Structure 1
């Protein structure tokens, strides 16, 4: 590892650079901030070697961009693109994003928002199931969200006007953007022509891009590739549970050097338990989800996690039903995505036809360990727990959630599921071991006593056991 040759005085800077590129994948002159790109350029040579050696990732750094080309081991549904207001992208926003990126690649140095919308609308009309009508407010909002995603990363820079004004009234509002062509090119650099793909399986790590000559030969059974796959899991997943791994993967995860290599490169701290490993970021900046955090949903999720941990670990309470984790749905997801590939757009002469048997997502029967069992809390228990939290702390919640207990419960459970603290199943949730970190959450609320006169002596605030604080 090149990081071992970095002086102790510079190691913190090098590890910050590694965390920046691993958490963003694309860095520009303004995204995620103006300090990130100079930091990466300083350590480009060392990072390029270490990221390839440890993870199989390819790093390209230019004067204006840094782009990390990662390797996918499985399809993830819990990490969608998000708008500036933290709304998840739906299929129309993804379609508008792809079509806008294509239009920007053919445009000049500047483009107006209405002109870009016209290009996207014309292209969308040729895609079954996708339309963009500037007469519909919902379409305009979705399109502006896609444009905002590009603007946040520096692909386009607002020169004049306001996108929000155009979204409200396209006849009265307008926006003019400068196009940064280097960012546009860096954003979409697929290792293969998409018109040559007949299955999404080809994009997973079992098949390497033709230009990745140094990775050719590293396949699923190769110990070096298994080690890479485990390091990728450590930096990409909130928790790596041993129960979800094959025998070879559990062996690699158990080896001290697997997590130690990630610690040395990134500065993350490995928290090791019998059930698996979680990489903890003391800086709190590498994860796309900060938890615990502010906001009603995050605080209720923290409180609910504490209640779940207390219930599961309560030896005096009646026993809970125990269930194994549900089977992976990778085959189903792949089949659904493959069914959506437009056959008319595939160049059959150059298409890559693969045999699904060569990319089986499930392990052989002999490679399957006895599945672990996890305590299950049913929907009735969760609803009662949320009701109790609302009763005790509801006056501190944001107004929109005080009257929407179902929405609050749904969003809190979704957050805990995304953090791999629980697994949502039919009828309730399975409580995963990491949730024990949040047992016995200490909370307090600071009440302010009203003063009858302007210059009364201040009355000390009274502390109660009510508002979440970070563990």
Structure 2
């Protein structure tokens, strides 16, 4: 709930976080003059004006925005930055279970896992993520029914157009700011070619706005907590706003310079970032879709009542929309829904992934699940409390077992407090753990990375079995040696 409350608070300050359809989609607008920015498709707002370049001058808007950033706290500034710049990428969990989809209502705690395909324990030395092709589009399956009849296939032109549209949409979801001189500038003609269809899809599905300039494309996303611009605090955001308006690039702030170098923003993009109107407020359906599209896991217990009711009723239909548009597959479980990218590329954070932190975090989650997984006979909770000593003991064991042999970062091996902080933060950002005051919760989706739970045979039924242990002396379910020691 905390992310929705924060976004709702920002909606009041910025004029809204989402969109509600108030006008029909228009045709692709024509560039009236060099440097102009257009919204594609053109949308009529509630006041009858078309979305696009604001009448506010960029310099004045930058000063006003810089003042707001400077007066904000860190969390508020981060959220304001996502509302203004919307430059965060989509984030999804990696790996897909090889087993068949389980029955509806199956818990992540006891459902199919991806343990053998993703755990660092089973990776060869020098492992690197392998790009895989997304599954074929629905509708491309052969339909010929006769014995000697060749299967019917969609026209090659239609398939190519669909593939191009999906490629452009995935790029914009991962990199909402595409500039001619930036790292993805080669894709700008592709986005331009499918601009109208992209704008209509993004507007209808997510309430996002696509704008095009002579040298850029921008997908205007809604505020989303936790998606900061790397290295920037409130003062850094203020410096960025002034730099975009043509002011000095704050030579003392290396993160601002690095961001401007990465964006390579032309003048019309800078004006769009600073003066574009905010997205209108979003209802429960659009809010849920945004969370599905942008976050690793959407848990029912983290949604507002209306949002939860919508996702519970419409999860299959909603996930099908993302399969068609972005090529994402779904895990629908008792605790919530996760969209996965079969190509393991539509995410700004990789888990599983190479590197010390990703490998250690995955091993930590795996072992905590094995220690704390609720019994299959229980009404499994969406999260379990993790004893502090169990985190420390487990991370210490992992470091002893793999630190030297796997060539992990020496700084982390020498500073286990920092290692713990950053590993838990990565699990938090990927929706597998959550802070709870001074301790932590292990969330049910973490179990998809652990070995699958094996049902225990009934006690005392085997030929050589011992009598069943009485409740008074039976060990607590899920407790291992580290937890008992804690």
Q: Sort the TM-score into its range (normalised by shorter chain).
A: 0.5 to 0.7
Q: 2:395 maps to what in 1?
A: 386
Contact 1:417 1:423 in 2 (8 A): yes
Partner secondary structure for residue 191 of structure 1 = coil
1:107 match: none
Partner of 2:263: 153
Q: Report how many residues are paired.
A: 295
2:269 to 136, 159, 183: 183
Map of 1:330 onto structure 2: none
Give TM-score scaled by structure 2 length.
0.56
- Give 5+ residue unaligned stretches, structure 1: 83-87, 105-115, 121-133, 135-139, 156-179, 193-204, 209-218, 323-371, 442-471
Query: Larger deviation: 25-34 or 265-274?
Result: 25-34
Give the conservation status (yes or no) of the 8 Å contact 2:335–2:382.
no
Q: What SS is found at the alignment partner of 1:283?
A: coil
Counterpart check, 1:297 vs 2:357 = yes
1:65 equivalent to 2:216? Answer yes
Do residues 269 (structure 1) and 417 (structure 2) align?
Answer: no
More strand per residue: 1
| TM-align CA RMSD | 2.8
Partner SS state of residue 430, structure 1: strand
- 1:144 is matched with which residue? 254
1:315 Cα deviation (Å)?
A: 5.0
1:385-442, Cα deviation, whole Å (9 max, x unpaired): 111111111212122122111111110000001111011112421111110111039x
Give the whole-Å Cα distance in 2 for the aligned partners of 1:242 and 1:30: 42
2:95 corresponding residue in structure 1: none
1:295 Cα deviation (Å)? 1.3
Separation (CA, whole Å) in 2 of partners of 1:81 and 1:273: 32
* 2:414 paired with 1:403: yes
Match of 1:100 in 2: 243
Of stretches 248-257 and 40-49 in structure 1, the one that deviates more from structure 2 is 248-257
Q: How does 1:330-369 map to 2 (within 5 A)?
A: none
Aligned residue in 2 for 1:232: 290
- The whole-number CA distance in structure 2 between the counterparts of 1:392 and 1:384 is 12
| Contact kept in structure 1, 2:182 and 2:263, CA below 8 Å | yes
Aligned-partner Cα distance in 2 for 1:32–1:251: 41
For residue 419 of structure 1, the aligned residue among 412, 430, 445 is 430
1:245-284 correspondence to structure 2 within 5 Å: 245-254=303-312, 255=314, 256-284=316-344
**Structure 2 Cα separation of the partners of residues 275 and 315 of structure 1:** 15
Map 1:101-250 to 2 at 5 A: 101-104=244-247, 116=248, 140=252, 143-155=253-265, 180-191=266-277, 208=280, 225-250=283-308
| CA pair 404-308 structure 1, distance change in 2 beyond 3 A | same
Aligned to 1:90: 233
Distance in 2, Cα, partners of 1:226 & 1:272: 19
Aligned to 2:180: 29
Structure 1 position 98, deviation (Å): 1.7
Q: Which runs of 4+ in 1 moved over 4 A?
A: 1-6
* Conservation of the 8 A alpha-carbon contact between 1:422 and 1:435: yes
Q: Deviations over 1:5-31 (max 9, x none)?
A: 992333222112111112222111133
Q: 1:149 to 1:41 in 2, by over 3 A?
A: same
* Alignment partners' CA distance in 1, 2:331 and 2:177: 28
